[in-house]
Chains A and B, each alone.
Chain A
Amino acid sequence: AQSVAQPEDQVNVAEGNPLTVKCTYSVSGNPYLFWYVQYPNRGLQFLLKYITGDNLVKGSYGFEAEFNKSQTSFHLKKPSALVSDSALYFCAVRAPSGAGSYQLTFGKGTKLSVIP
């Protein structure tokens, strides 16, 4: 079974400072990893994904994530936080194989608050 852990329920960061939202995963085989963001009363928006290749993945709105296979982690990062980045962030994993199922397994989410 695949699983995702986001160890922090909430992350607070000052505007202009770098931010990191942590994610670790458990899956058989090589994973497909995704980050989504959710603003209040909205659906999830795709930020970025890791499939294969370069461990540093760049995505939307200046976000990037680093895949670390030995630590089974996929932390989301941004060099300089904006107040508008305040939202709920979800990490998700999908095993690349399995009887045609493309189910995503999500972490519990991390609430990011960027303080002006």
Chain B
Amino acid sequence: KAGVTQTPRYLIKTRGQQVTLSCSPISGHRSVSWYQQTPGQGLQFLFEYFSETQRNKGNFPGRFSGRQFSNSRSEMNVSTLELGDSALYLCASSPGTSGANEQFFGPGTRLTVL
């Protein structure tokens, strides 16, 4: 099976712009989670989608949003970018039917905000 793919791999934006990141999960996986990774804060949970519904959301401002499509692909959007949004954004997929399922991570999208 193909792994989790994320596009683009690298992005450079300026403050105030918006950005959309894409994630394609492993075939058959219905859960997609997003995480932000920074050197200072580590891995922080953004949100999780399961069958097109947001199942959980982390403690991030409303500028961060996401959605999931019927084919389980997911996008996250960040509006009005701030310098502090520079980070590695990781997407992870799992079957989503049990807490015992491990998550499989994509390579991430490196976002740099100038």
A109 to B92: give the CA distance in the assembly, Å.
18
Stretch from A13-21, A76-84, A92-100 forming part of the interface with B: A92-100
A36 to B106: give the CA distance in the assembly, Å.
13
How many chain B residues have a CB neighbour from A under 8 Å? Answer: 28
- Per the 8 Å Cβ criterion, residues 89-107 of B in contact with A are 90, 92, 94, 96, 98-107
**Which residue in B42, B102, B110 is a CB contact (below 8 Å) of A46?**
B102
Secondary structure type dominating chain A contacts: loop
Q: Is the CB of B105 within 8 A of A45?
A: yes
Q: Is the CB of A102 within 8 A of B90?
A: no
A43 within 8 A of B: yes
B56 within 8 A of A: yes
A43 to B1: give the CA distance in the assembly, Å.
17
Seen from chain B, the residues whose Cβ lies within 8 Å of a Cβ on chain A are 4, 31, 33, 35, 42-43, 45, 48, 50, 55-56, 58, 90, 92, 94, 96, 98-108, 110
Q: List 18 A-B contacts (CB under 8 A).
A: A42-B107, A42-B108, A43-B90, A46-B102, A46-B105, A49-B102, A95-B99, A100-B55, A101-B55, A102-B31, A102-B33, A102-B55, A102-B56, A102-B94, A102-B99, A103-B45, A104-B33, A106-B43
Seen from chain A, the residues whose Cβ lies within 8 Å of a Cβ on chain B are 32, 34, 36, 41-46, 49, 51, 90, 94-98, 100-109
